Amino acid sequence: MTESAQPLARYSAWTRRGDFLFLSGIIAVDPCAGRIIRGFEDLPEGVADQIGRTGEFSVDAKDGPIIAQSWYVLDRVRATVEDAGGTMGDVFKLVQYFRNLDHFPRYNSVRRTFFPDLPPVSTVVEVSGMMPSPDILIEVEATAWLGSEA
């Protein structure tokens, strides 16, 4: 089973046009399991401690949902780009939609782990809601260049 992004409805999760790869907005939903990523407990073993789980209930209950969703979404971006033959270094543009812009600092700390050097150019937008549930806190779309550098 691939880890790349899967559509939740009738649309393409990604498409390649020449050397450009365009990813649809990716949210923290595992369509195969039919579940929304709601916190650290929904991530693969070992990931939560690497990305910020403190073990303090009040902190993890507040920060866990956005940190976990941020990791899951960016990991789906990574897997999708890799399935198409690229790397995260090929991603040059992100559009990030937040239900609450106060979540950006926690998302940004996770994003640094996926883009440790120069991050892609970015657009950050606050929206009133996302499908399929109010539990979705972030959506990220990405564009990558899979051609050779001049």
* Total-model pTM: 0.91
> Which pLDDT band, with edges at 50, 70 and 90, does 5 fall under?
low
- Whether residue 3 lies inside any domain: the answer is no
- Position 116, amino acid: P
Angle between helices 104-114 and 57-83 (to 10 degrees): 40
- Residue 102 sits in a domain of what CATH number? 3.30.1330.40
Q: pLDDT tens digits, residue range 15-48?
A: 999 999 999 999 999 877 889 999 999 999 999 9
- Whether residue 2 lies inside any domain: the answer is no
pLDDT at 115: 98
Name the average pLDDT for the chain: 92
Cβ of 144: how many Cβ atoms within 10 Å?
26
pLDDT at 142: 98
- Whether residue 52 lies inside any domain: the answer is yes
Task: Give residue 83's domain range.
Answer: 14-145
pLDDT at 12: 82
pLDDT tops 70 at residue 73: yes
- Whether residue 139 lies inside any domain: the answer is yes
When divided into structural domains, the chain yields a total of 1
Helix (H) or strand (E) holding 27: none
pLDDT above 70 coverage of the chain, percent: 91
Q: pLDDT tens digits, residue range 98-144?
A: 999 999 999 999 999 999 999 999 999 999 999 889 999 999 999 99
pLDDT tops 90 at residue 78: yes
- For the chain, how far is it from start to end, CA to CA, in angstroms? 35
The answer to whether 123 and 25 have CB atoms below 8 angstroms apart is no
